Chains A and B, each alone.
Chain A
């Protein structure tokens, strides 16, 4: 595909459920980023991968959040035991090393 894709686009979860959000980066992009965007706010950094290595996970808000990119391509962001404060748009972006980031359409997560 031409761009970054994310699935699902919308997810409604009951409080306490686990969710998994998928990101397909642009083919060949080494870097992959996850961001969390609360309503009315700018995105905030969650974690960064270079190929399959998770080089920075300082933005993950709690140990309920886990991200992986096992083969250096597709990435999954998993949130365990979802809470209402996890409701946000989760954005994925990819880039060639050091170049501008290309963003996916985001996954809007609503925890009820």
Chain B
């Protein structure tokens, strides 16, 4: 079993829909990261959080440490949000474990 599990693997939504991507992990962590990867490979860090909730524009990330679970929400989704979203857990300076990613396609 992977240490970081994401669901769903693939997600297709209509523009304007509210989107949720889930991440569960099985190891102790120092922080959890949500990353966005566009075609071509470049990765952008969206959030780093160790408790509670963070919001940036239309993106919201939450984490429940006791349940070892995090969610990434996108409100009023747009085709430009189409990308792969990766959950990663940090376990120290040099130890980061990644989920396989959720491929999001937002149709106009």
Binding site for B on A (CB under 8 A): 31, 33, 35, 37, 40-45, 48, 50, 55-56, 89, 91, 93, 97-98, 100-106, 108
- Complex Cα–Cα for A102 and B35 (A): 10
- Chain B, 31-47, contact with A by CB distance < 8 Å: what is the 0/1 string? 10101000011111100
Chain B contributes a number of interface residues (CB within 8 A of A) equal to: 22
How many cross-chain pairs have Cβ atoms below 8 Å apart between A and B?
A: 61
The residue of chain B having its C-beta at the shortest distance from the C-beta of A45 within the complex is B96
Q: Is B98 an interface residue (CB 8 A)?
A: yes
Across the interface, do A103 and B94 meet the contact criterion of CB distance under 8 Å?
Answer: no
User: Measured between alpha carbons, how far is A101 from B91 in the docked complex, in Å?
Assistant: 13
Query: Which DSSP category, helix, strand, loop or mixed, fits chain B's interface?
Result: strand
Let me know if A108 and B41 touch, CB within 8 A: yes
Grouping DSSP codes into helix (H, G, I), strand (E, B) and loop, the A interface class, with mixed when no group exceeds half, is: strand
Residue of B88, B94, B97, B100 ringed by the most chain A CB atoms within 10 A: B94
Q: Taking A103-B42, A103-B43 as contacts, is the C-beta distance between A40 and B100 under 8 angstroms?
A: yes
On chain B, the residues within 8 Å of A35 by CB distance are 98
Q: CB within 8 Å of A: which residues of B?
A: 4, 31, 33, 35, 40-45, 48, 86, 88, 93-101
Contact across chains for A103 and B101 when beta carbons are under 8 A apart = no
Contact (A101, B100) CB under 8 Å given A42-B86, A91-B43, A106-B41: no
